[in-house]
Chain A
Amino acid sequence: MAGMCCGVVGEGETPAPIEPSSRTSRRRRMELLPSKFIADVAVPPVLKNGRKRQKLDLCPRSSPPLQLEKAAKTCLSSEAEGKVENNETKSESEEMSPTQALNFCRSTPSAEVVRECPKFGVTSVCGRRRDMEDAVSVFPSFCLQKTQMSDGYHFFGVFDGHGCSHVAARCRDRLHEILKEQVEGAGEAVEWKGTLERSFELMDEEVRERSGPLKSTWSCRCDLQTPQSDAVGSTAVVAIVTPEKIIVSNCGDSRAVLCRNGVAVPLSSDHKPDRPDELLRIEAAGGRVIYWDGARVLGVLAMSRAIGDSYLKPYVISEPEVTITDRTAEDECLIIASDGLWDVVSNETACGVARMCFRAQRPPSPPGSSHSDVAVGAVSKSSDKACSDASILLTKLALARHSTDNVSVVVVDLRRNNDQQSLGLEN
């Protein structure tokens, strides 16, 4: 039953839980609905009408690209679904679709708990800008084939494009695949720092050379038929969550923050041109940082590292900084977001908001007897809602504080054995 949502496609698994009560069974049915829907839409893995959308692949085995808007339905209540359907058929979007509000639900068999993909929520909106240049990708168990171990590697990435959306879109579509190849090429124990550095380098080369398999027909502002669009790039912050560790690889000014026991622990450091070590590096390479509406490399780019932007090489580099953090029992969640959030919301506030969302969603009175199926069901469902609520609330807060950029937020629930923990807290 591992993978009620993501394993359905091509596996023919039929989850058949024994329902202890009608209330739970209704809840289960609501959970199952979206997974069936995903299976339906995923079979012909072709984007409808050639539409290019922000998508999120929930099916690691067969990996057909899923339109995120479809996937996003997993978080919508059944009453609301009809409405979405209507709206979707009416909309004729060609460019990236903006919203992703995704909620990932699956049951939690306790024996498999460490390998399970943590629950997560994704929100990504255009906000006050007129172009959507952010992209988000989430790939649970992104490299399955290799070993039993790699079953537990989960990929979360946020990419904030500048100049146009196509570099960010390319990172969303390709970076996890490149990383997967690198991980599979490595030995039994993955050396994450080197592997991620190499993957970012390859990603950058692919963007610059426009090589590699094209997944979808591009449609963006800057016509890709023109010889080069050098002045286009993207930030990339990628978090690999394994059963023991959180590996964050960052290039640019998007950010990953760990919420640990109520404390905000940044797992990446923004690459700004006026960061002292970055300034030294740029100047050593012969570049200059000019203050023109903030510190900018050559007076142009307001970040010191990025994927793409070949016209600013070698001052702007694609080499990421990698941090490896051991997971602890105190870890609550990981927040990965573009600067549309971080420009107006502090790390501490973001963690506070996510925490309160988790707390608000705790079941009101878990049965004291034991963690019966009812309790597990309630907790696992509400926890998903909590992640989704947190990502949406953070996005709303960013807009409320007048963020002028696109806002993309991923919240990953890192609490282990949710059911037990929340039961413990109630006692």
Chain B
Amino acid sequence: MATDDQERCRCCFLKWMNLQQQELSELHQALTLQASNKNSENCLRQLAEKCIKHYQDYVNNRSQLARNDVSAFFAPAWCSNWENSLLWIAGCRPSQYIRLVYALNGIEIDAQLHEFLQGTRTGNLGELSPEQFHLIDILQSKTIRAEEKLTTQMASLQEDVADQPMVAITKGLSKIGEMNGELDRALDKHEQGMVGALEEADSLRLSTLKELMDILTSRQAVDFLTAAKKLQLCVHEWGKTRDERHGRGKLMIT
């Protein structure tokens, strides 16, 4: 039963990563067509929306599986130690999306500044308009506040393990690691809390991403998703390589 859960969780993740790869090719293709004017603004928007829809599906799927085995997602065996050490409530920090926007925007500005100062380039440097810049900043502070709230919630859940009823049950045990019905009920209840945290974190990730998509133009949204997916896939691979260097991993990760 337990291995089944584990296997289903792993499958869910692997399917998701395969989909990322597939979406990345689609996004690249769309950008190429756009560059040669063969693709409409509308196509890009639809593609971005499709990606978000897929993410929504993944989140829903994950939530279902987590009800059976939530810890599998907090310390996934299918990711490298390095990747797992970067997790925030079983995923990325939603505030990372804003960092990514700033970073992408920054690369453009640096490349264009010289021309701008020479007067050979005018117009909207770094693509993000003042309005978008303003909205992204509002989104950022909102996201960080929500993140902090969830972090505090998570802290409580972790502290709870060193509190009642676990402590009283432990005191009454005659052997280390012994399990009983009372303990199982207590741990099940604790896991429910963890599922709640996971669901809230996933919903924050999703809503932040959706709001960001609303702020960005279709072209920017596709650019952003391309960069985000590429980064995600890279992080997964880098983790494997780095773990191997420390003599970990090859057997565990497929």
Cross-interface CB contact of B130 among A75, A88, A132, cutoff 8 Å: A75
Cross-interface CB contact of A83 among B108, B135, B141, B144, cutoff 8 Å: B135
Cross-interface CB contact of A128 among B102, B135, B138, cutoff 8 Å: B102
Is B99 an interface position by the 8 A CB rule? yes
Interface residues of A in 42-101 (CB under 8 A from B): 69, 72, 75-77, 80, 83-84, 87-88, 91-95, 97-99, 101
Give the shortest distance, in Å, between A22 (CB) and chain B (any CB).
25
User: Could you tell me if B106 and A95 are in contact, using CB atoms closer than 8 angstroms?
Assistant: no
User: Could you tell me if A101 and B134 are in contact, using CB atoms closer than 8 angstroms?
Assistant: yes
Is A393 an interface position by the 8 A CB rule? yes
Cross-interface CB contact of A360 among B99, B123, B211, cutoff 8 Å: B123
Determine the chain B residues whose CB is within 8 A of the CB of A388 once the complex forms. 130
User: Could you tell me if B107 and A400 are in contact, using CB atoms closer than 8 angstroms?
Assistant: yes
Task: Digitize B113-153: 1 where CB-to-A-CB distance is under 8 Å, 0 elsewhere.
Answer: 10011010011011010110111011111101100100000
Report the Cα distance A88→B134, complex, angstroms. 11
User: Could you tell me if A87 and B123 are in contact, using CB atoms closer than 8 angstroms?
Assistant: no
Determine the chain B residues whose CB is within 8 A of the CB of A395 once the complex forms. 133
User: Could you tell me if B106 and A99 are in contact, using CB atoms closer than 8 angstroms?
Assistant: no
Interface residues of B in 24-62 (CB under 8 A from A): none
Is A275 an interface position by the 8 A CB rule? no
Report the Cα distance A349→B117, complex, angstroms. 9
Chain B residue nearest to A69 (CB atoms) is B138
Interface residues of A in 79-133 (CB under 8 A from B): 80, 83-84, 87-88, 91-95, 97-99, 101, 123, 125-128, 130, 132
User: Could you tell me if B125 and A396 are in contact, using CB atoms closer than 8 angstroms?
Assistant: yes
Give the shortest distance, in Å, between A332 (CB) and chain B (any CB).
15
Determine the chain B residues whose CB is within 8 A of the CB of A401 once the complex forms. 106, 110
Report the Cα distance A132→B142, complex, angstroms. 12
The stretch of A168-176, A351-359, A367-375, A419-427 in contact with B is: A351-359
User: Could you tell me if B133 and A392 are in contact, using CB atoms closer than 8 angstroms?
Assistant: yes
Question: A87-B135, A126-B141, A401-B110 given as contacts; is B130 within 8 A of A392 (CB)?
Answer: yes
Is B217 an interface position by the 8 A CB rule? no
Task: Digitize A385-403: 1 where CB-to-B-CB distance is under 8 Å, 0 elsewhere.
Answer: 0001100110111011110
Determine the chain B residues whose CB is within 8 A of the CB of A396 once the complex forms. 105-106, 109, 125-126, 128, 133
Question: A352-B117, A359-B119, A392-B133 given as contacts; is B106 within 8 A of A97 (CB)?
Answer: no
Determine the chain A residues whose CB is within 8 A of the CB of B99 once the complex forms. 128
Give the shortest distance, in Å, between B3 (CB) and chain A (any CB).
40
Determine the chain A residues whose CB is within 8 A of the CB of B144 once the complex forms. 126, 130
User: Could you tell me if A99 and B105 are in contact, using CB atoms closer than 8 angstroms?
Assistant: no
Determine the chain A residues whose CB is within 8 A of the CB of B148 once the complex forms. 130
Give the shortest distance, in Å, between B238 (CB) and chain A (any CB).
21
Chain B residue nearest to A125 (CB atoms) is B137
Report the Cα distance A388→B125, complex, angstroms. 13
User: Could you tell me if B141 and A132 are in contact, using CB atoms closer than 8 angstroms?
Assistant: yes
Interface residues of A in 328-353 (CB under 8 A from B): 349, 352-353
Determine the chain B residues whose CB is within 8 A of the CB of A97 once the complex forms. 138, 141
User: Could you tell me if B117 and A98 are in contact, using CB atoms closer than 8 angstroms?
Assistant: no
Report the Cα distance A407→B131, complex, angstroms. 17
Chain A residue nearest to B144 (CB atoms) is A130
Q: Chain B CB within 10 Å — which of A97, A126, A388, A396 has the most?
A: A396
Q: Chain A CB within 10 Å — which of B135, B141, B148, B214 has the most?
A: B141
Determine the chain B residues whose CB is within 8 A of the CB of A123 once the complex forms. 130, 133
Determine the chain A residues whose CB is within 8 A of the CB of B134 once the complex forms. 72, 76, 84, 99, 101
User: Could you tell me if B102 and A399 are in contact, using CB atoms closer than 8 angstroms?
Assistant: yes
15 contacts between A and B (CB under 8 A): A84-B131, A87-B139, A93-B145, A97-B138, A98-B137, A98-B141, A99-B138, A101-B134, A130-B95, A353-B113, A356-B116, A356-B119, A389-B130, A392-B133, A396-B109
Binding site for B on A (CB under 8 A): 69, 72, 75-77, 80, 83-84, 87-88, 91-95, 97-99, 101, 123, 125-128, 130, 132, 349, 352-353, 356, 359-360, 388-389, 392-393, 395-397, 399-402
The 8 closest A-B pairs by CB, nearest first: A400-B106, A99-B137, A400-B109, A80-B131, A99-B134, A360-B122, A98-B137, A125-B137
Binding site for A on B (CB under 8 A): 95, 99, 102, 105-110, 113, 116-117, 119, 122-123, 125-126, 128, 130-131, 133-135, 137-142, 144-145, 148, 211, 214-215
